[in-house]
A = this chain, B = another copy of it.
Amino acid sequence: MAEVERVKTGVIGLDSKIEGGFVRGSVNLITGKTGTGKTSFCCSFLYQGAKEGEPGLYITTEQRVEDIKNDIKAMFGWDFDKLEKKKLIKLVSIKPIFPNKDIEDINRLIRLYILNFLSQIEKNIKEIKAKRVVVDSVSIIEMFIKDEYISRVALSSLTEKLRELGVTSLLTGTIPEASESLSGGGIIEYIVDTVIKLDFVPVAEEYKRTLNVRKMRRTNHSTMIHPFTVTKEGMKIIEL
């Protein structure tokens, strides 16, 4: 049987549930409703890399770089500024903008939008020789492209590019509050190697956080719904 190289997730207790970690070079979706811990997961992943000397790139389309650093410092005490100076972490904000309506052809506009997005990712990966990449989140692409087929093509070109560049990557998706879906657009889950779903489950008068590996290629993964907690050491699976 083939050897599959694994990359530690950085989430305490998760690696043992998925044969040792993410498959090296794979594209993995971390999805969940707002406030379920997607950003914490992604930062744990990059911090794990930094500890092992693997440079990591964080692309955010949602927040300001300063805010993420401050959040992480407040929650876990991790100093991303210091890691950035050591070239072990790089955070980049790619903000969505009002589309330029001078370009009339919507398909051409989308192509330019995606190409620009991919070239920024590629440039930054090469700059720090990143081995790990986070794209937080892909939902902005899903909002920008209304057509299901075009969205499929565009998201595929993103996953292809990440695979080509040989990095192990996390994409975050957002599940609308009232939905049972796996992403806003319902497409990205088909073209990634892994789907990990974070959730908020009401138990009596309280909400509990849970993690479920919905799919993972090349991996005989846990199919349990794992409760987890966010500790000062990072996200941590609660063993039952």
**Which residues of A are at the interface with B, using a C-beta cutoff of 8 A?**
1-2, 4, 34-35, 62, 64, 67, 70-71, 73-75, 77, 95-99, 101, 105, 107, 111, 139-140, 143-144, 148-150, 152-153, 156, 160, 163, 174, 176-182, 186, 189-191, 193, 195, 200, 202, 205-209, 212, 214-220, 223-225, 230, 232, 240
Report the separation of the CA atoms of residues A202 and B174 in the bound assembly, to the nearest whole angstrom: 22
**A150 with B98, Cβ < 8 A, contacts A70-B2, A178-B181, A225-B205 known:** yes
Report the separation of the CA atoms of residues A15 and B62 in the bound assembly, to the nearest whole angstrom: 27
Contact B111 A98 (CB under 8 A): yes
Contact B149 A190 (CB under 8 A): no
Contact B70 A214 (CB under 8 A): no
**A140 with B144, Cβ < 8 A, contacts A208-B223, A223-B206 known:** no
Q: Name the one of B64, B95, B105, B209 contacting A101, with C-beta atoms under 8 angstroms.
A: B105
15 residue pairs A–B, Cβ–Cβ below 8 Å: A1-B73, A2-B74, A34-B195, A34-B215, A35-B195, A62-B191, A74-B219, A75-B218, A98-B111, A143-B148, A178-B180, A200-B214, A205-B225, A205-B240, A206-B223
Contact A70 B218 (CB under 8 A): yes
- In the complex, chain B residues whose CB is within 8 Å of the CB of A62: 190-191
Chain B CB within 10 Å, residue with most, of A160, A193, A205? A205
Listed from nearest, the 4 A-B pairs whose CB atoms lie closest are: A35-B215, A178-B180, A74-B218, A2-B73
Q: Name the one of B64, B98, B182 contacting A107, with C-beta atoms under 8 angstroms.
A: B98
Q: Name the one of B111, B144, B163 contacting A64, with C-beta atoms under 8 angstroms.
A: B163
Report the separation of the CA atoms of residues A107 and B205 in the bound assembly, to the nearest whole angstrom: 44
**A1 with B223, Cβ < 8 A, contacts A35-B215, A95-B156 known:** no
Report the separation of the CA atoms of residues A97 and B107 in the bound assembly, to the nearest whole angstrom: 12
Contact B177 A98 (CB under 8 A): no
Q: Name the one of B1, B153, B209, B218 contacting A96, with C-beta atoms under 8 angstroms.
A: B153
- In the complex, chain B residues whose CB is within 8 Å of the CB of A144: 149
- In the complex, chain B residues whose CB is within 8 Å of the CB of A177: 180-182, 186, 189
